[in-house]
Structure 1
Amino acid sequence: MELRHLRYFCVVAEELNLTRAAERLFIAQPPLTRQVKQLEEEIGAVLFNRKPRGLELTEAGQYFLDQARQILDKVDATVADTRRISQHGKTVFAIGFVPSIFYGQLPLMVRRLRRNKNLEIVLHELKTREQIDALKSGKIDLGFGRLRIDDPDVEQELLFNEPMIAALPASHPLAKKMPSMKELADIPLITFPSGPGPNFADITQGLFHRRGLRVNVIQQVNDVQTALSLVASDMGFTLVPEQVRRLGREGVEYVPLDDDSITSPVLASRRKGENPNAVMRLANTILHELVENRLTGRYP
C-alpha cells in the first residue's frame, strides 16, 4: 500500500462518485476503479457499497477514511516541519487554539517561547474537536480549547474556569447594570462560531437552556470579531469569556453577569503517554506560571 492509494481513496470517499473523483485526481476513471478495488482486496474489507447513483461508504470504509486522513495529515505535517527545519535549522512547535483563547495568556506564552532562537512557533486556529485530530496526526503539539472531548489518545488539563460576561450595545439599558440570564434571554442573541458543533455557540446556548430559558438566536457568525461588530450595530448581544474584554470595540459595553458562577473552562490538550521533550517542558513551565498569575490575581 502506498500513500497515493490513501489519497485516491480519500478523494473517492469525499466525492462518492468515481467520475468526479477521477477528474479531481486528473486520472482516467478505469485506473482509479482498479486502484480502489485493489485497495479493498489488500485490506480484506469492502470499503464502498456500489449503488446505481454512486458509492456509499461502509462502516469499515468510514473507519478507514478517518485513519487515512490522520495518516496523510501526519505525513503532510512531517514534510512541512522537515522543510522548516532544513531552511531555518529550528525545532518546530505547533500550537492549536480557539479564537476566544487568544486574548489572554496565549500571546504571552508565544512571546516567551519565541525568545528561544532555536524554536519556530507555528499557530493553527482550530476548533477543539479539530485540535484532537491535529494532536493525533502530529500537526500540533499542544492545543487550547473550551470543550471536554473524550479520546483515549489525548489528555486534557483544566487550566482554569473563566467568567462569562455579556457584550451589549453601549446604548442598551442592561449595559448599565449586571444583567441576569433571564433579562438577557429577552434580547436577540448573536452566537459564534457557526457550523456544526460541538463548539462555543453550544456552550453559550446551553447556559440558557439549563436554566429553562429560551433564547432568540438572531445570527450565528464565524468569529468573535464579527459577533462584536453586530453587537455594536445594535443587532443584539453575545456572551464572551472575560478575556475578550481586552478587545476594545466602540459601541460595545462589556458587563459582568449577576451570577459569577457562570464560567467557561480553558483546557490544554496534549498527546497522552508521551514523555515531554525539552520544548514541551519549557512550554508547560511557562503555561503553569501564567495560569498561576491568573489564579492569584496577577493578571494576565
Structure 2
Amino acid sequence: MELRHLRYFVAVAEEKSFNKAAERLFISQPPLSRQIKQLEEEIGVTLIDRDNRPLKLTEAGEFFYDHALQIIKKSDDLRAMTFRKGNFDNSLSIGFVSSILYGILPKVIARFREVYPNIEIKLYELNSWQQTQSLVEGKIDVGYGRLLFEDASIRRLLLREESLVVAVPVKHRLAQEKQKSIRLMDLTNENLLLYPMAPRPSFIDYVLELFEARNLKANYFTEVRELHIALGLVAAGEGLTIVPKTLEHLRSQEVTYIPFEDGLLTSPIVMSVRHFDKSELLKTLLDVTYQIYDEEGFDYKRETI
C-alpha cells in the first residue's frame, strides 16, 4: 500500500464517484478503479459499496477513510516541516503573542542578532493556537505563546510563569483605595474586558478557566478584539482587564495596575518548537532568552533543546 493509494481512495470517498474522483486527480477513470480494487484486495475487505449511487463507503471503508486522512495530513505536514528545515540556515521565523512583544522578546531578538547578524528574522503575530498550526505547516520555526496545547509534532518548553495584574482606571474605587493587592473573587461582579475575541482558544479562555478552577464566575465580561483595545477601554473607565505584569508600564498615566494577592495568579510563557528540531539557531535563541532572564532577575526553570 502506497501513499498514492490513500489519496486515490480519499478522492473517491469524498466525490462519491469514480469519474469525479478521476477528474479531481487528473487521471482517467479505469486505472483509478483498478488501483482501488487492488487496494481492497491487499487489505482483504471491500471498502466501497459500488451498488449504491452515489457510491457509499462500507463500515470498513469509513474506518479506513478516517485513518487515511490522518496519514495523508501527517505526510503533508512532514513534507512542509522538512522543507522549512532545509531553508532554516538563512532565516528564522518567529511567532509571538502581542503581550510577549511588550516583555523581553525585543531584547532576545536584539541579542540573537548579535550572535547571528546575517540571519534574517521574520516576526509574525499569532496566538498560541495559530503558532501550533504554523509550526506544523512549516510557516514558522519557533513560537512564543501563553497557552499549552497537546500536539504530537510540537514540543513545549515552559520558560517561566509570569505574574498577572489587574488593570484598573485611575479613578476606579479600587485605585482610589490604593489597594496593595486584589483577589480574583473581588472581580466577579466587575465589568471585565477580556481579549482577544478571536481566534479561539486564546488568553480569554485562560482567564475564564482561572475563575472556574476556583469555583468562581466572571458575571460581567465583554470580549474585545485585542489587548490595546482592552487597555484603551480601561483608560476610558469602561471596565477592568487582566494582563501580564510586564505590561504594567502601558498607559500608566490613565491606568493603575494592582497585583493579585500573594502573586498566585500567573500566566505561562511557552516556547514551542517542532519535535526533534535541535537546530543551533534554536539552541542559541533559548540560551539568549535565559541570559536575559538572569539579567532581569526572573525565576525560571531551565530547559534544553
Check the 8 A contact 2:80/2:136 in 1, yes or no: no
Q: Secondary structure at the match of 1:246?
A: coil
Counting only pairs closer than 5 Å after superposition, residues 256-275 of structure 1 correspond to structure 2 as: 256-274=259-277
Gaps of 5+ in 2: 41-45, 55-61, 300-305
Letter in 1 for 2:171: S
Counting only pairs closer than 5 Å after superposition, residues 72-151 of structure 1 correspond to structure 2 as: 91-115=90-114, 116-151=116-151
| Residue of structure 2 in register with 1:289 after alignment | 291
| Residue of structure 1 in register with 2:204 after alignment | 201
Q: Tell me how far apart the structure 2 counterparts of residues 75 and 159 of structure 1 sit (CA, whole Å).
A: 29
**More off after superposition, 133-142 vs 232-241:** 133-142
- The structure-2 alpha-carbon separation of the partners of 1:155 and 1:43, relative to structure 1 and needing over 3 Å to count, comes to farther
- The structure-2 alpha-carbon separation of the partners of 1:213 and 1:107, relative to structure 1 and needing over 3 Å to count, comes to same
Q: Secondary structure at the match of 2:263?
A: coil
Structure 1 residue 214, shift from structure 2 partner = 1.8
Q: Tell me how far apart the structure 2 counterparts of residues 278 and 130 of structure 1 sit (CA, whole Å).
A: 24
Structure 1 residue 95, shift from structure 2 partner = 1.0
Q: Does 1:187 align with 2:190?
A: yes
Q: Secondary structure at the match of 1:193?
A: coil
Whose radius of gyration is greater, 1 or 2? 2
Q: Tell me how far apart the structure 2 counterparts of residues 126 and 51 of structure 1 sit (CA, whole Å).
A: 45
Q: Secondary structure at the match of 1:259?
A: helix
Check the 8 A contact 2:92/2:120 in 1, yes or no: yes
Check the 8 A contact 1:160/1:291 in 2, yes or no: no
**More off after superposition, 246-255 vs 63-72:** 63-72
Q: Secondary structure at the match of 1:291?
A: helix
Structure 1 residue 76, shift from structure 2 partner = 7.3
Letter in 2 for 1:142: V
Post-superposition Cα deviations, 1:172-201, rounded to whole Å, max 9, x if no partner, equal 011231222222222111111113643211
Check the 8 A contact 1:228/1:238 in 2, yes or no: yes
TM-score by length of 1: 0.72
Q: Does 1:229 align with 2:232?
A: yes
Q: Tell me how far apart the structure 2 counterparts of residues 229 and 43 of structure 1 sit (CA, whole Å).
A: 61
- The structure-2 alpha-carbon separation of the partners of 1:247 and 1:237, relative to structure 1 and needing over 3 Å to count, comes to same
Cα RMSD over matched residues? 4.0
Check the 8 A contact 2:193/2:222 in 1, yes or no: yes
Letter in 1 for 2:137: S
TM-score by length of 2: 0.71
- The structure-2 alpha-carbon separation of the partners of 1:76 and 1:269, relative to structure 1 and needing over 3 Å to count, comes to closer
Check the 8 A contact 1:163/1:264 in 2, yes or no: yes
Q: Tell me how far apart the structure 1 counterparts of residues 131 and 292 of structure 2 sit (CA, whole Å).
A: 22
**More off after superposition, 214-223 vs 183-192:** 214-223
Structure 1 residue 222, shift from structure 2 partner = 2.4
Letter in 1 for 2:164: M
- The structure-2 alpha-carbon separation of the partners of 1:169 and 1:70, relative to structure 1 and needing over 3 Å to count, comes to farther
Q: Does 1:155 align with 2:163?
A: no
Check the 8 A contact 1:231/1:252 in 2, yes or no: yes
| Residue of structure 1 in register with 2:219 after alignment | 216
Q: Tell me how far apart the structure 2 counterparts of residues 62 and 30 of structure 1 sit (CA, whole Å).
A: 21
Letter in 1 for 2:280: A
| Residue of structure 2 in register with 1:23 after alignment | none
Structure 1 residue 120, shift from structure 2 partner = 0.5
Q: Tell me how far apart the structure 2 counterparts of residues 113 and 258 of structure 1 sit (CA, whole Å).
A: 36
| Residue of structure 2 in register with 1:169 after alignment | 169
